[in-house]
């Protein structure tokens, strides 16, 4: 029994060392104590691994990443309960990035929709190039209009939330999009394979910790 525990401990230690080497080689870094509580989430709160995706709707690379990688994550690890996906917006690409992000959060909150659902629709509508009026119309047609009487106050609340979130991200040196935080490992503009390898490593480590 002791030998089995020793083997498990050695395996977990090996995974940690290998993970640190992998993070270094992939251009990422470790971030501890990252607060995800205020970020809109998708998936089980009991999932062993939390992944935070940081995007800007005006970012063409973010559009590609969301359409390909995030969609695959939602269908796979998130649907299976292995990963909880959370979303952060860093409006930095264009002057109206914050306006478009505010629009997305507004519709998500008003219609009680997963932020992932609204995000997917905006990226599908070519958010890097769409104008704000058209983006508003697309979301209204898809999810329903917003009460004009309530809209101003809701917009202010959404914008304030996003500004505070943006300051927090920059304060933690998360200043590029797309970025992905897997557990405590932050990856900047990662490819699909890097993201999934890091998730598999984090899942293996979480499973090893649980078995001890």
Per-residue pLDDT tens over the stretch 105-162: 999 999 999 999 999 999 999 999 999 999 999 999 999 999 999 999 999 999 999 9
Residue 207 half-sphere exposure toward CB, CA atoms < 13 A:
10
Q: Beta partners for 49?
A: 83
Q: What is the pLDDT of residue 209?
A: 62
pLDDT by residue (tens digit) across 3-46? Answer: 444 444 444 444 444 444 444 334 567 877 888 888 999 999 99
Give 167's pLDDT tier (boundaries 50, 70, 90): very high
The CATH number of the domain covering residues in 2-211:
3.40.30.10
Phi-psi sector, 108: left (phi>0), alpha (psi -120 to 50), beta: alpha
Domain residue extents for the chain: 2-211
pLDDT by residue (tens digit) across 34-88? Answer: 888 889 999 999 999 999 999 999 999 999 999 999 999 999 999 999 999 999 9
Q: At 102, list the tokens.
A: 């505010």
Q: What is the pLDDT of residue 199?
A: 96
Give 99's pLDDT tier (boundaries 50, 70, 90): very high
Task: Match 């009487």 to its residue by tokens.
Answer: 149
* Three-state secondary structure readout of 89-125: ECCCCCCCHHHHHHHHHHHHHHCCCCHHHHHHHHHHC
Q: Beta partners for 181?
A: 52, 186
For 185, list phi and psi in degrees, rounded to 5.
-105, 120
Q: Order of strands, edge to edge, in the sheet holding 185-188? A: 29-30, 185-188, 179-182, 49-55, 83-89, 41-42
């Amino acid at each position: 029994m002791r030998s089995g525990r020793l083997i498990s401990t050695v395996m977990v230690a090996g995974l940690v060392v290998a993970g640190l080497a992998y993070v270094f080689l992939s251009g990422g870094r470790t971030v501890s104590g990252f607060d995800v509580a205020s970020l809109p989430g998708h998936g089980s709160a009991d999932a062993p691994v939390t992944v935070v995706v940081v995007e800007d709707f005006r970012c063409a690379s973010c559009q590609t990443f969301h359409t390909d990688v995030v969609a695959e994550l939602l269908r796979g690890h998130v649907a299976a309960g292995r990963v909880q996906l959370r979303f952060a917006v860093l409006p930095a690409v264009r002057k109206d990035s914050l306006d478009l992000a505010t629009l997305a959060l507004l519709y998500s909150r008003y219609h009680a929709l997963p932020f992932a659902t609204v995000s997917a629709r905006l990226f599908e509508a070519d958010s890097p190039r769409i104008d704000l009026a058209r983006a508003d119309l697309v979301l209204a047609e898809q999810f329903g209009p917003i009460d004009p009487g309530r809209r101003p106050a809701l917009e202010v609340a959404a914008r304030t939330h996003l500004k505070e979130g943006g300051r927090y991200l920059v304060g933690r040196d998360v200043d590029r999009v797309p970025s992905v935080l897997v557990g405590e490992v932050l990856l900047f503009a990662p490819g699909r394979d890097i993201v999934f390898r890091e998730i598999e490593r984090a899942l293996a480590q979480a499973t090893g910790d649980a078995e001890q």
